[in-house]
Chains A and B, each alone.
Chain A
Amino acid sequence: MREKELEKLKDYKYGFSTDIENFKAPKGLNEDVIKFISNIKKEPKWLLDWRLKAYNRVKVLKEPNWQKPKYPKIDYQDLYYYSAPKSFKEKPNSLDELDPKLIETYNKLGIPLNEQKRLNGIAVDAVFDSVSVATTFKDTLTEKGIIFCSISEAIQKHPDLVKKYLGSVIPITDHYFATLNSAVFTDGSFVYIPPGVRCPMELSTYFRINASDTGQFERTLIIADKGSYVSYLEGCTAPMRDENQLHAANVELIALDDAEIKYSTVQNWYPGDKDGKGGIYNFVTKRGLCKGKNSKISWTQVETGSAITWKYPSCILQGDNSVGEFYSIAITNNHQKADTGTKMIHLGKNTKSKIISKGISAGFSDMTYRGLVDISPKSSNSSNYTQCDSLLMGNKCGAHTIPYIKNKNANSNIAHEATTSKISDEQLHYCQQRGLNSEEAVSLIVNGFCKEVLQQLPMEFAVEAQKLVGISLEGSVG
Chain B
Amino acid sequence: MENFKTDFEKVLKNNNLSEKEVAFKNLNAKEFSSHGFPNRKDEDWKFSDINQIIKKEIGELNFYNEQLKKSEIDKDILLNEIEHNKLFFINGQLVHIDFNSEDKGKIEFLDNQNNIDEQLADNSLINLNNALSNKSYKLLVKKNYQIKKPLIIYHTTNSELTSQNINFKINFELEENSSLKLIDLVKDKGNKNFINIFYNFSLEKNSILKNYKIDQFENDNIRYMFNNIKQSSNSVSETFYLSKGSTFSKNEIFCDLKGEHSSAFVNGIFSLNKSKHHEIKAKINHLVENTKSYQLVKSVLENKSRSVYQGKIYVDSKAQKTDGYQLSKAILVDETTEFNAKPELEIYADDVKCSHGSASGSLDENSIFYLMSRGLSYKEARELLINGFLVEVINQITDEPIKKLIKNLYGLKNEY
Note whether A and B form a binding pair: yes
Among B209-217, B258-266, B333-341, the stretch in contact with A: B333-341
B358–A415 contact, CB under 8 A? Answer: yes
Question: A408 to B332, alpha carbons, bound, how many Å?
Answer: 9
- Type the 1/0 row for A391-432, where 1 means its CB is closer than 8 Å to any CB of B: 011111111111111111111111111111110000000000
A410–B337 contact, CB under 8 A? Answer: yes
A418–B355 contact, CB under 8 A? Answer: yes
B342–A405 contact, CB under 8 A? Answer: yes
Question: A401 to B337, alpha carbons, bound, how many Å?
Answer: 26
Question: A411 to B351, alpha carbons, bound, how many Å?
Answer: 39
A390–B347 contact, CB under 8 A? Answer: yes
Chain A residues with Cβ below 8 Å from B357 are: 415-418
CB of A353, distance to nearest CB on chain B (Å): 14
Chain A residues with Cβ below 8 Å from B332 are: 407, 409-410
Known pairs A405-B341, A416-B358; A66 contacts B347 (CB<8 A): no
Among B61-69, B359-367, B368-376, the stretch in contact with A: B359-367
Question: A403 to B355, alpha carbons, bound, how many Å?
Answer: 13
Known pairs A418-B355, A419-B355; A407 contacts B342 (CB<8 A): no
Q: Does A377 contact B (CB under 8 A)?
A: yes
Question: A57 to B21, alpha carbons, bound, how many Å?
Answer: 48
B344–A402 contact, CB under 8 A? Answer: yes
Q: Does B343 contact A (CB under 8 A)?
A: yes
A66–B359 contact, CB under 8 A? Answer: no
CB of A347, distance to nearest CB on chain B (Å): 16
Chain B residues with Cβ below 8 Å from A403 are: 341-344, 358
Question: What is the size category of the interface that chain B forms with chain A?
Answer: 35 or more
A410–B334 contact, CB under 8 A? Answer: yes
Question: A418 to B357, alpha carbons, bound, how many Å?
Answer: 6
| Size of A's binding interface in residues, CB under 8 A | 34
Q: Does B225 contact A (CB under 8 A)?
A: no
Q: Does B111 contact A (CB under 8 A)?
A: no
Known pairs A390-B347, A399-B347, A421-B352; A407 contacts B362 (CB<8 A): no
Partner of A409, one of B335, B346, B356, B359: B335
B351–A422 contact, CB under 8 A? Answer: yes
Question: A399 to B322, alpha carbons, bound, how many Å?
Answer: 14
Question: A383 to B130, alpha carbons, bound, how many Å?
Answer: 45
Complex interface residues of chain B between 12 and 50 (CB less than 8 A to chain A): 43
Question: A421 to B359, alpha carbons, bound, how many Å?
Answer: 22
Known pairs A413-B359, A413-B361, A416-B357; A400 contacts B338 (CB<8 A): no
Q: Does B232 contact A (CB under 8 A)?
A: no
Known pairs A400-B344, A400-B347, A405-B341; A395 contacts B317 (CB<8 A): yes
Partner of B360, one of A377, A397, A401, A407: A407
Known pairs A390-B347, A400-B347; A420 contacts B352 (CB<8 A): yes
Interface centre among A399, A407, A413 (most CB of B within 10 A): A407
B358–A414 contact, CB under 8 A? Answer: yes
Q: Does B243 contact A (CB under 8 A)?
A: no
B347–A406 contact, CB under 8 A? Answer: no
A395–B360 contact, CB under 8 A? Answer: no
Question: A393 to B348, alpha carbons, bound, how many Å?
Answer: 10
Partner of A377, one of B335, B353, B355, B361: B335
Nearest neighbor of B351 in chain A, beta-carbon distance: A422
Chain B residues with Cβ below 8 Å from A410 are: 332-335, 337, 362
B334–A397 contact, CB under 8 A? Answer: no
CB of A342, distance to nearest CB on chain B (Å): 15
Known pairs A403-B343, A417-B355, A418-B345; A393 contacts B335 (CB<8 A): no
Known pairs A66-B43, A422-B351; A405 contacts B360 (CB<8 A): yes
Nearest neighbor of A412 in chain B, beta-carbon distance: B361
- Type the 1/0 row for B160-196, where 1 means its CB is closer than 8 Å to any CB of A: 0000000000000000000000000000000000000
A419–B354 contact, CB under 8 A? Answer: yes
Partner of B342, one of A402, A408, A409: A402
CB of A386, distance to nearest CB on chain B (Å): 9
Question: A393 to B346, alpha carbons, bound, how many Å?
Answer: 15
Q: Does B236 contact A (CB under 8 A)?
A: no
Question: A75 to B362, alpha carbons, bound, how many Å?
Answer: 51
Q: Does B385 contact A (CB under 8 A)?
A: no
CB of A180, distance to nearest CB on chain B (Å): 23
Chain A residues with Cβ below 8 Å from B338 are: 406-408
B356–A401 contact, CB under 8 A? Answer: yes
Chain A interfacial positions (CB closer than 8 Å to B): 66, 377, 390, 392-422
Interface CB pairs A-B, < 8 A, 21: A377-B335, A392-B347, A392-B350, A396-B317, A398-B346, A399-B345, A401-B344, A401-B345, A402-B344, A403-B343, A407-B330, A408-B337, A410-B334, A410-B335, A410-B337, A410-B362, A413-B362, A415-B357, A418-B343, A419-B354, A422-B350
Other A-B pairs beyond A390-B347, A411-B362, 11, CB < 8 Å = A392-B352, A395-B351, A398-B348, A404-B340, A407-B360, A410-B335, A410-B362, A413-B359, A416-B341, A416-B359, A422-B351
